[in-house]
Copies of this chain bind each other. A is one copy, B any other.
Amino acid sequence: MSELPKRVYIVEEGAREGFQSEPADIPTSEKIRLIEALAETGVPEIDCASFVNPKVVPQMADVAQIAEGIRKREGVTYGCMWLNAKGFLQAVDSGLSLPALTSGSASDTFLARNNNSTPEKQIEGQRKLRALYTEHGLGSGPVYLFTAFGCNYEGDIPVAKAMQRAEDLVGVCEEAGTPPSCIYLCDTIGAADPMQVRALVEAVRTRWPDYPVALHLHDTRGLGIANAMAGLELGVSRFDASVGGLGGCPFAGNRSAAGNIATEELALLCERLGIETGIDIPALLDVAQMAEEIVNHKLPGKLFRAGMFARN
């Protein structure tokens, strides 16, 4: 019944997606301090910042300084994110690792309301970006399918609909001769339940058996770790998560909504299932505590508050 992976690769999102949900007054030095502390815990990849319009996302106005300021640890990937060509070109100059991102929304309403775009324009934009990546010598990269399970406008997204949008995004990569390195199913607003996760992961695996499935899960409604478990049992071996559950969900229509699943809780679940992550959980609990001090409000993570137990 279970196809648990032997090893799971966790991408730490706290410094990027997490801080993006916080007020813009966190000092650059504190952001760097968190990234450097995370790198000491065995997390293999840290998403450090977004190259986005600082007028829209003032939290990321210091992204170049962050990129420049990090003392990098060997063996750790320091990634970043962007939404368009301008952002990508800034990222190129940053010295951060460049994943060749191809992304799009499964929900057309979400795309229209949040990006003032259409499925056709979305794909056209991604095609141009993909060409730019190739110009810059980037090969395959991940596909991110946002709102893959549901959105706050359309509710549940049917599997067939999500697959249609995934097909478009995978097509962009394949046409360019750079097939996806993995396909991320993103529960952007925390709408998924374990059955939906199973259904969509299985559909993607059946359609593209050669492209690994990854999960980007939010815990907006408290089902995040059950959704992660559903993914693990289907062999999903790449997840995004954020230390302490840092972050929120600007799309949940509520500033106090919970963020990504907590990295240390996902790592604990993996450890309990005999799956390697390379993460030193007690060290990560200390970093979650640090993250809470930096943002100066209670983070949703539970494990770092309770601590580990004897012999566990």
Interface residues of A, Cβ cutoff 8 Å to B = 1, 150-156, 189-191, 193-196, 219-223, 225-226, 228-230, 249, 252-254, 256-258, 262, 265, 268-269, 272-273, 298, 300-303, 305-307, 309-312
Across the interface, do B312 and A156 meet the contact criterion of CB distance under 8 Å?
yes
Most chain B CB within 10 A, of A151, A253, A272, A298, is at: A272
Pull 14 A–B residue pairs with CB atoms less than 8 Å apart, ordered by A.
Answer: A151-B309, A152-B309, A154-B310, A155-B311, A156-B312, A194-B273, A195-B272, A196-B272, A220-B302, A221-B302, A223-B265, A226-B228, A252-B309, A258-B302
Chain B residues within an 8 Å CB radius of A190: 306
Across the interface, do B254 and A221 meet the contact criterion of CB distance under 8 Å?
no
Chain B nearest CB, measured from A221 CB (Å): 5
Chain B nearest CB, measured from A295 CB (Å): 14
The residue from B156, B222, B228 contacting A268, defined by CB atoms under 8 A apart: B222
**How far apart are the CA atoms of A252 and B229 in the complex, in Å?**
24
**How far apart are the CA atoms of A226 and B228 in the complex, in Å?**
9
Most chain B CB within 10 A, of A156, A194, A195, A309, is at: A309
Chain B nearest CB, measured from A277 CB (Å): 14
**How far apart are the CA atoms of A163 and B253 in the complex, in Å?**
47
Chain B residues within an 8 Å CB radius of A257: 302, 305-306
Chain B nearest CB, measured from A255 CB (Å): 10
Chain B nearest CB, measured from A186 CB (Å): 15
**How far apart are the CA atoms of A194 and B274 in the complex, in Å?**
12
Across the interface, do B150 and A312 meet the contact criterion of CB distance under 8 Å?
yes
**How far apart are the CA atoms of A222 and B150 in the complex, in Å?**
23
Chain B nearest CB, measured from A271 CB (Å): 9
Chain B residues within an 8 Å CB radius of A223: 225, 265, 268-269, 272
Across the interface, do B269 and A226 meet the contact criterion of CB distance under 8 Å?
yes
> Which chain B residue lies CB-closest to A194?
B229
Across the interface, do A252 and B155 meet the contact criterion of CB distance under 8 Å?
no
Across the interface, do A253 and B302 meet the contact criterion of CB distance under 8 Å?
no
**How far apart are the CA atoms of A257 and B152 in the complex, in Å?**
31
**How far apart are the CA atoms of A196 and B229 in the complex, in Å?**
14
Across the interface, do B152 and A273 meet the contact criterion of CB distance under 8 Å?
no
- Given A194-B229, A229-B194, A269-B193, verify A222-B311 contact (CB < 8 Å): no
Chain B residues within an 8 Å CB radius of A269: 193-194, 223, 226
**How far apart are the CA atoms of A230 and B311 in the complex, in Å?**
23
Chain B residues within an 8 Å CB radius of A256: 305-306
Chain B residues within an 8 Å CB radius of A310: 152-155
**How far apart are the CA atoms of A107 and B153 in the complex, in Å?**
49
The residue from B191, B225, B273, B312 contacting A309, defined by CB atoms under 8 A apart: B191
Across the interface, do B221 and A303 meet the contact criterion of CB distance under 8 Å?
yes
The residue from B219, B226, B253, B307 contacting A252, defined by CB atoms under 8 A apart: B307
Across the interface, do B254 and A307 meet the contact criterion of CB distance under 8 Å?
yes
